[in-house]
């Protein structure tokens, strides 16, 4: 996975990794705004098919909210809206306001976002100065802790469900405090099981790829999708699965989805229980029927 630098879009990072690996099929597991840094998990080759299992992943962030004025993009890259207000709030007041954001809530996405309006991304309409009204979406904020206050800047830590815009949280917190605000900086520290401590910079990724040290560059397959049980299949079962045929896995009769391995590192398939102990390989990632290179970073 990549530690995305500020100033690049997620698509920019994907294009850079395509060049580093010489692989066209590269995708990411959750967009980061250009302003933001941090965890950007990438899937490569046939493993892009695993992205469906990360569509609703929990995410964690650290960042800074600047109080005193709002912006049209809800972050530091936008144009200021209105005058700058005096900020006369204490850390305890900010913490009390932040508590009201915890739980499931309706959130209106920023107008400068990728949310579609009649098939067009909202940010394109916003740039054309079109009047638009985005519909609220249901999101969940599981943790929103204010870790410090220095003058007009509040540092925070957050853990949120899929689809939550931290820019909107910052904007709404400023409104709740009566002094407006916007997101000044943001760093994503985790996505699902992917943690910032395991992420590589683009420069590090280039160096590891040059050295062909892929074991360090790529996440170990056994760490993926920890909510699914794993099984190391025998040669006969692996052969059947690689051809898309169902197999009996009596050890996992309680599970709905399982990861099927050949040896320690080769993730062969994600199999779905059909009935009893019979599992069908819904996604075949390696084997005779699927010869493309499989890597994850």
Question: With contact defined as beta carbons under 8 Å apart, do 286 and 262 qualify?
Answer: yes
The first and second tokens of residue 220, run together, are 């170990």
Q: By three-state DSSP, how is residue 66 classified?
A: strand
Residue with tokens 């819904």: 282
Catalytic residue among 3, 33, 75, 152: 33
The span from the CA of 4 to the CA of 34, in Å, is 9
Here the contacts of 16-20 (C-beta below 8 Å, separation 24 or greater) are 16/202, 17/42, 17/44, 17/202, 17/205, 17/297, 20/202, 20/205, 20/206, 20/209
| 213 in active site | no
Q: How far is CA 271 from CA 71, 260, 285, in A?
A: 47, 7, 11
**Do residues 169 and 158 touch, judged by C-beta distance below 8 A?**
yes
Contact assessment for residue 195 and residue 39, using Cβ atoms and an 8 Å cutoff? yes
Q: Are 228 and 270 in contact (CB under 8 A)?
A: yes
- Residue position matching structure tokens 């204010």: 146
CB 52 within 8 A of CB 270: no
- Catalytic residue list: 33
């Amino acid at each position: 996975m990549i530690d995305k630098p500020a100033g690049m879009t997620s698509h920019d990072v994907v294009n850079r990794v395509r060049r580093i690996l010489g692989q066209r099929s590269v995708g990411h597991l959750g967009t980061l705004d250009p302003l933001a840094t941090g965890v950007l998990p990438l899937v490569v080759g046939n493993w892009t098919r695993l992205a469906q299992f990360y569509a609703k992943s929990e995410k964690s962030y650290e960042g800074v909210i600047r109080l005193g004025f709002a912006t049209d993009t809800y972050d530091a890259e936008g144009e200021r809206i209105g005058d700058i207000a005096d900020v006369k709030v204490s850390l305890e007041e900010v913490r009390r306001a932040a508590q009201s954001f915890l739980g499931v809530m309706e959130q209106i996405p920023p107008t400068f976002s990728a949310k579609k309006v009649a098939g067009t991304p909202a940010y394109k309409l916003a740039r054309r100065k079109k009047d638009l009204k985005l519909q609220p979406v249901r999101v969940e904020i599981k943790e929103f802790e204010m870790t410090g206050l220095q003058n007009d800047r509040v540092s925070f830590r957050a853990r949120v469900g899929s689809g939550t815009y931290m820019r909107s949280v910052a904007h709404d917190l400023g409104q709740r405090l009566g002094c407006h605000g916007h997101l000044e900086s943001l760093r994503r520290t985790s996505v699902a099981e992917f943690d910032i401590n395991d992420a590589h910079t683009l420069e590090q990724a280039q160096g590891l790829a040059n050295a062909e040290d892929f074991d360090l560059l790529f996440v170990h397959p056994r760490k993926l999708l920890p909510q699914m049980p794993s099984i190391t299949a025998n040669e006969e079962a692996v052969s059947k699965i690689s051809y898309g045929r169902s197999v009996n896995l009596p050890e996992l009769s309680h599970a709905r989805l399982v990861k099927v391995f050949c040896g320690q590192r080769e993730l062969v398939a994600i199999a779905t229980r059909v009935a009893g102990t019979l599992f069908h390989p819904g996604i075949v990632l390696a084997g005779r029927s699927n010869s493309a290179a499989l890597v994850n970073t």
